[in-house]
Amino acid sequence: MKRQDERSVGELLLDADFTTRQILMDVTGDDAQAMLRTWGEVVQSASELWATLPQPVGRATSPIDGITMARLESMSQAMHRNQVRRGWPGDGASDERLLRVAETFTRAADLIGRRGGHIGPTDPAVRADLDAARMRIMHTLYVGAHSVGVAAQQHVADVELATTRGMSDRERRAVPRGQDAINRLAAFEQLAGAYVGNQFARAAQGEHVHGPHGTERLQQALIGWDIQAHRTLAATPTPANLLLASRTQAGIATAAAAILHAGARTGNVDTHAYEHRLAPTLDATQQAWTHVATRWAEMTTPASRTDLDLVHAAGELRAAVREVAHDKTTWAHPEVMAGRVDLGEAAQHFQQALSTAVDVACVTRDVAAQDTNLSGPARAMSHRANGDIDRAADGGHENEDVVWVTSSDVHANRTVPIPEPVRAGLVDATDTLVQTASNAMSAAACLDRFTHDRPSGPGQEPTASRSRRHEGPTPMTQDVRSVARP
Amino acid sequence: MMTNDTIDRDAGETLAAVARLLHHAAVRTWAQAEAEGPRSPLHLLGLGIHIASCQAVAMLPVHADLEGQAPTQDDVVQLLRSAEELTRAIPVLDQPAGISPLVVDICDLMREATL
């Protein structure tokens, strides 16, 4: 005999939420077709559950509540009709985990229908429970839509990888179908996300569905990052903001090396220039940014706040790089990257980014040298000051017996102005940073020449009209104070 | 998503613990990345975890206590898993707005770190 499900509505909703989280953590491209077949069922059962929740009595309800769910259901139905019309993913197995989510929603709806769907809630506590239930349903749809979208993206990436190795027309047709599903799921996710993120008004006005992909997204992300980094560091050059800026710049250098390496392997970047000039200078500037980042990290505390606009710009940049260059946990194969985007065009965007990185490095050095408000936790500052003094002594400098941070400050780990040796070490590190960033910029000048000299072929359209090019001479590696931003 | 001065006390303490775990996971990931060298893809994973940590801190009241004890685990996947499990105890309400995107980010990072 089947055991009776004794769980409450709240427990069922939590189960549905946690199941979608687990799906998101484990999802792969192989799951895409089954998930796409099943997703509509999840949305329908969520909508039916939503409808069984008792409507508020005696207070004005926000019309967006019902409208959001109705729109989500409508989007899901449109997606289903499109799948039927296109014949993809077609008949086949359902996704068992998503089915479980749908069944859990249905079970919760049954419980409510039997035990109290007719009751008009007047008690504030009951109303709060209902609000929480609606939010949990929407949150589950948000997480679920994201996981189906991830599966579809991975599926498209897998198909594109197969394309580079030869495949049938039928298989090749899965790419635009998958892309269409990705776009529709992104719109769904955005609407559900606006509800749970309390940003409904912005989403309803903007109706932003999906942004650019590939090199266009990469270019926008690099430009957006550059603009935001300058804005944030001009307004609030705190160690926390400088830490994120430095780590992101290090990430740009790492990504540039990976993508230019792929470009060199696939004939989109001069191989000799990559191996002998670009790669060594990119490695050096990456290490310099990383070193500077560790210095800024010492000056932060766990409670340090980072400018959220900077956080979002860094997040978008990271996502854009992953879209081009990653394959699960590591770098994608060069041919795979070349199949995704025009690597010559990507190389030009990185050339621009490496130029503007010099200016970010100069701003960073200026803060290190001139900002009198720089401070950090006493223990870390004391430790760093003593370390830098010891290093200077090893280098032949006289080791003066100076207490840079008082013992009471160290004991309480108060925030103290950065000691003189710490600033000196920071300035040294940022001087190296400016130098290495300048070297990388100079080395990258060859990218402009090569990508404009290479022949155009299928999928290799000339990019001169879309790229932002230097009009003046290449700045020298010495005495670079700043580079005009395009 | 912004600083939240009305977050429930228990939820705030849990979210602070999530932020600590993410911070520690980012530090550990970057340490591994630096050991592997400048071209390690772990640099970008560390950046992603740090970004999630910044998002978690941003949802806390200005004077939230984030010092606490450093996590004892050093395994990045385990740290991320612990962070995700802690978020299960945080109500998904309009306060703190933004917990859903953070949950998705942590799950994405888990997949990125383990697949």
**What is the tens place of the pLDDT at every residue in A312-354?**
999 999 999 999 999 878 999 999 899 889 999 999 999 999 9
A:B CB pairs within 8 Å: 150
**Of A307 and A471, more confident:** A307
Q: Does A250 touch chain B (CB under 8 A)?
A: yes
Contact A330 B67 (CB under 8 A): no
- Whether A27 and chain B come into contact, CB under 8 Å, resolves to yes
Of A18, A287, A330, the CB nearest to B38: A287
**Mean pLDDT calculated for residue range B73-101:** 87
Q: What is the DSSP string of A397-433?
A: -------SS-HHHHHHT-EEEPPHHHHHHHHHHHHHH
Per domain, the residue ranges of chain A are 9-206, 214-374+418-453
SS (H, E, C) A99-158: HHHHHHHHHHHHHHHHHCCCCCCCCHHHHHHHHHHHHHHHHHHHHHHHHHHHHHHHHHHH
Stated pTM of the model:
0.84
- Determine the Cα–Cα distance for residues B41 and B18; give it in Å rounded to an integer: 24
Distance CA A376, CA A413 (A): 9
Residue A328 Rama label (left phi>0; alpha psi -120 to 50; beta): left
Compute the C-alpha angle A70/A74/A79, nearest 5°: 150
Cβ atoms of A65 and A200 within 8 Å: the answer is: no
- Cα(A84)–Cα(A80) distance, integer angstroms: 6
* Residues of chain B contacting A328 with CB distance shorter than 8 Å: 112, 115
Which residues in B lie closer than 8 A to residue A131 (C-beta atoms)?
A: 93
A249 touches chain B (CB under 8 A): no
Q: How confident is the model at residue B73 (pLDDT cuts 50, 70, 90)?
A: confident
CA–CA distance, B78 with A306 (Å, rounded to integer): 25
Q: Model ipTM?
A: 0.94
Type and span of the H or E element at A376: strand A375-377
Q: For B110, which of A25, A196, A297 is closest by C-beta distance?
A: A25
Q: Is residue A186 over pLDDT 50?
A: yes
pLDDT of A110 strictly over 60: yes
Q: Give the integer Cα–Cα distance in Å for A97 and A94.
A: 9
Which single residue is written with the structure tokens 């249905």?
Answer: A106
Give the best residue of B13, B85, B92 to mutate against chain A (max A CB count within 10 A): B92
Residue B43: alpha-carbon gap to chain centroid: 16
**B101·A305 Cβ contact <8 A:** no
**Residue B109 token pair:** 């990072």
Share above pLDDT 90 across residues of chain A, in percent, rounded to a whole number:
61
Q: How far does B9 lie from chain A, in Å, by closest CA?
A: 17
As a whole number, the mean pLDDT across chain A is 84
User: What residue type is assigned to position A15 of the chain?
Assistant: D
Query: Which residues of A fall within a CB distance of 8 Å from B59?
Result: none
* Average pLDDT score over residue span B9-29: 93
Cβ(A92)–Cβ(A33) under 8 Å? yes
Q: pLDDT for A363-413, tens place per residue?
A: 999 999 999 999 999 999 999 998 877 776 665 555 566 778 899 999 999
Q: How confident is the model at residue A213 (pLDDT cuts 50, 70, 90)?
A: confident
Amino acid type, A217: R
Do A308 and B46 make contact, defined as CB atoms within 8 angstroms?
no
Distance of alpha carbon A183 from its chain centroid, rounded?
Answer: 17
Q: Which helix (H) or strand (E) holds B50?
A: helix B42-58
Spans of all domains in chain B: 9-114
Residue type, A349: H
Q: Report the first-to-last Cα separation within chain B, whole angstroms.
A: 29
**φ, ψ dihedrals at A417, nearest 5°:** -60, 145
Query: Nearest CB to B47: which of A132, A247, A306?
Result: A247
A295 chain-B contacts, CB cut-off 8 A: none
Which residues of B are less than 8 Å from A248 in CB distance?
Answer: 47
Contact A17 B92 (CB under 8 A): yes
CA torsion sign for A359, A363, A365, A366 is positive
